[in-house]
Amino acid sequence: MEYVLIIISAVFVNNIVLTKFLGICPFIGVSNKVDTAIGMSGAVTFVMVIATIVTYIIQHYILVPIGISFMQTITFILVIASLVQLVEIILKKVSPALYQALGIFLPLITTNCAILGVAILAVQKDYNLIESVFFAIGHAIGFGLALITFSGIREQLELADIPKGMRGVPIAFIIAGLMAMAFAGFTGMVK
């Protein structure tokens, strides 16, 4: 039950994009087509879960025991950067089909603040390993939900007659704002 709550809270109540403002760059950048949005969400889910597990282990078995938790930022970002590379290499060898689908998104993920953000938040919240995993899965689903819905709306938008100055990014932000309002309706759901 506790794990279900962590997931619901991460997907709806504390949606990473629409209420926590993490991962906005890919949210605006790769949301023109539903297909690419799905690919990006898959890649993010993959890396987010693995990164959270690895950073959890590093934080609790290396940084804290030898008293250098101030090195958190630098170690976490290096771990994420190397992890992304590693995932790319392994995926290429093991599953070329999956690599075809996710490959082009992987390099973009290192600088996706959602990954580092979730890793740091999981540590800050003092979650244990299993809770951290559910926390990461929840946030990844939340990211996917927001991104894919958003790209669906943006595809429709191509057909709409938008005032000239609003076209492109400005209208995207207005829509994101309206979506954030909808998601604000979930607040208070998890108690």
Partner 1 sequence: MSRKESTFSNMVVTLFLVTLVSSAALGFIYELTKKPIEDALLNKRTLAFNIVLPEFDNDPVNEMYRIAVEKDTFSLYLGKKDGKTVGIAVETASQGYGGEIKLIVGFLPDGSINEVAVLEHKETAGLGDKILKSKSDWSTQFEGKNPEDFKLSVTRDGGNVDAITASTITSRAYCEALQKAYNALITGGEQ
Partner 2 sequence: MSQWKNFTKGFIKENPVFVLFLGLCPTLGTTNSAINGIGMGLATTFVLVMSNLVVSLIARLIPDKVRIPSYIVIIASFVTIVDLIMKAFLNNPGPNFEPSLYDQLGIFIPLIVVNCIVLGRAEAFASKNSVMTSLIDGFGIGMGFTFALLLLGSVREILGSGSIFNIKFIQGDGILLFVSPPGAFLALGFLIMLMNKLSRKIS
188 binds, among partner 2, partner 1, none (CB under 5 to 8 A by kind): partner 1
Tell me if 29 contacts partner 2 by CB under 8 A. yes
CA neighbor of 169 nearest in space, from 28, 70, 40: 28
Tell me if 85 contacts partner 1 by CB under 8 A. no
What is the nearest approach in angstroms of partner 1 to the Cβ of residue 40? 28
27/108 Cα distance (integer angstroms): 12
Q: Considering the complex, state which of residue 130 and residue 184 has its C-beta at the smaller distance from partner 2.
A: 184
Q: Considering the complex, state which of residue 38 and residue 77 has its C-beta at the smaller distance from partner 1.
A: 77
What is the nearest approach in angstroms of partner 2 to the Cβ of residue 127? 15
115/125 Cα distance (integer angstroms): 16
What is the nearest approach in angstroms of partner 1 to the Cβ of residue 191? 5
Cβ-based neighbour number of residue 35 at 10 Å: 12
Tell me if 140 contacts partner 2 by CB under 8 A. no
Q: How buried is residue 148: exposed, middle or buried, by Cβ count under 10 Å (0-12/13-18/19+)?
A: middle
Which residues, at least 6 apart from 141, have a Cβ–Cβ distance to it below 8 Å? 7, 10, 11, 45
Binding region for partner 1 (CB under 8 A) out of 32-40, 111-119, 146-154, 182-190: 182-190
| Chain residues that interact with partner 1, rule: CB under 8 A | 14, 70-71, 74, 187-188, 190-191
